[in-house]
Chains A and B, each alone.
Chain A
């Protein structure tokens, strides 16, 4: 077993070096396929994360009130809203408090708000709903009330995000299946060229008593090596760029809006295994397919 593998690996390396150009082409095709797969993977996990945070953060409805509504009237509105089905609690946030909250949220950049001449924030009521699905019904009941300037709630945003995720997942899946098939065909053709050039040799080997697996071994290993190199290169590229993106995002303005990205360690830990199994799978399948015709006799 070990000797057979050692022989296969040695032969495969010789073949790889001999057919550098074709092998580079195969590796390139696997790499580009995996890069596209990686792009989708990154998009999907990050949009998922975004949708999740959105869902937990935005189960509230903000009701901005006109400035001429008095405190009395506001408390009345608050009481009325608390009776609506689906409402968990209603909090009154006056404009001073709103400014303080915003300063806090901006953190180190909060000083930017100090220069304002007048407080731009309106008084507001914040409704927490029991379930995000109830938000629509609650909003339609409130809409008719007097003194309301604007209503903001995020159900539609969250739903849109989830829809986008689903679409990207589906599109990604279809595209990836197509790309996997293309890669298999490319690898199969690379190996087939090697095999065809050696059809006569394979015949001789069979006469001497070589088993199909002995003959197949080196080509099989050749495919696997192509797969491993292809996946290694693509993981390295993705690691490099994703780290750069994370660094860029975590410095500046983005923190203010608390946009989170999946950390690159987590991403790479997952990607590396997916990529290597895909690369090895494509490589070995491609090489086995290309040998079928030559060994089935």
Chain B
């Protein structure tokens, strides 16, 4: 599903990523861990073509990201759901409208919007807040809306950049259960996180990055590598 071939990203002489080789299969659930400044955000930005790789090739599904023309970037991003630590909801739209917006941009029919949006809202358990605005919701509720929006168009990959970073442990676990549920439907999930406890308990594949290099890749890993 996701493939990095000898990918490097240089900022001047500083290598944010150097010579990364990596392959993530369809339906996998992967944690991306590492200290701050290791290159995790760079990895995501490259995948979304927010920045260009200095070297190497990146593939996402059928698309070769590294030679995708700029005007095709929207197509790439519709194939990838994204969830951020700070939720990034549209402040002037209601919960319902925020989720529907992702369908508006692919010119979905009003009819299918009316059918699919309530389903997504109920999947993330927030149907009763459909007409509220983001600022009227708790952090956990806002993250649920963001997740509903990210999966509404059935992306093959869901990328979550520290999705639990702003949440208390209980809420964080609720969000994790939601992600697992989405993963079970076949969506590949890549989650960047610092939450040691979550990574340890989930026992999923863990890819560790440090100073732009992959230092470990364990199929049923823990946050810290204990020798």
Contacts and interface: CB of A to CB of B under 8 A. Distances in A.
Interface string B52-94: 0000000000000000000100111110001000001111100
A204 B88 contact: yes
A208 B101 contact: yes
A201 B77 contact: no
B102 interface: yes
Interface in A6-24: 7
B227 interface: no
A211 interface: yes
23 contacts: A3-B107, A3-B109, A3-B110, A4-B107, A201-B90, A201-B91, A204-B88, A204-B90, A205-B101, A206-B77, A207-B48, A207-B77, A208-B105, A208-B149, A209-B74, A209-B75, A209-B78, A209-B105, A210-B74, A210-B105, A211-B71, A211-B105, A214-B104
Interface of B: 48, 71, 74-78, 82, 88-92, 101-102, 104-107, 109-110, 149
Contacts of B75: 209
- From B71, B89, B92, residue with most partner A Cβ within 10 Å: B92
Interface string A72-88: 00000000000000000
A214 B149 CA distance: 17
The 9 closest A-B pairs by CB, nearest first: A209-B77, A209-B78, A210-B105, A211-B74, A209-B74, A204-B88, A3-B107, A208-B102, A201-B90
Interface residues of A, number: 13
Nearest to B106: A209
A98 B104 CA distance: 81
Given A4-B107, A201-B92, A205-B90, 12 more contacts: A201-B91, A204-B88, A204-B89, A206-B74, A206-B77, A207-B48, A208-B77, A208-B82, A208-B102, A209-B102, A211-B105, A214-B104
Interface of A: 3-4, 7, 201, 204-211, 214
Contacts of A214: 74, 104-105
A214 B108 CA distance: 13
Nearest to B152: A208
A169 B106 CA distance: 50
A53 B227 CA distance: 105
Contacts of B104: 7, 214
B133 to A, nearest CB: 13
Contacts of B110: 3
A201 B134 CA distance: 13
From B75, B102, B107, name the one whose CB has the most chain A CB atoms within 10 angstroms.
B107
Contacts of B48: 207
Contacts of A209: 74-78, 102, 105-106
A214 B102 CA distance: 12
Nearest to B102: A208
A90 B101 CA distance: 84
Contacts of A3: 107, 109-110
A201 B101 CA distance: 12
A162 B178 CA distance: 81
Contacts of B105: 205, 208-211, 214
Q: Which of B71, B77, B109 has its CB near the most chain A CB atoms (within 10 A)?
A: B77
Contacts of B88: 204, 207
Nearest to A14: B92
Nearest to A11: B104
Nearest to A18: B92
Nearest to B89: A204
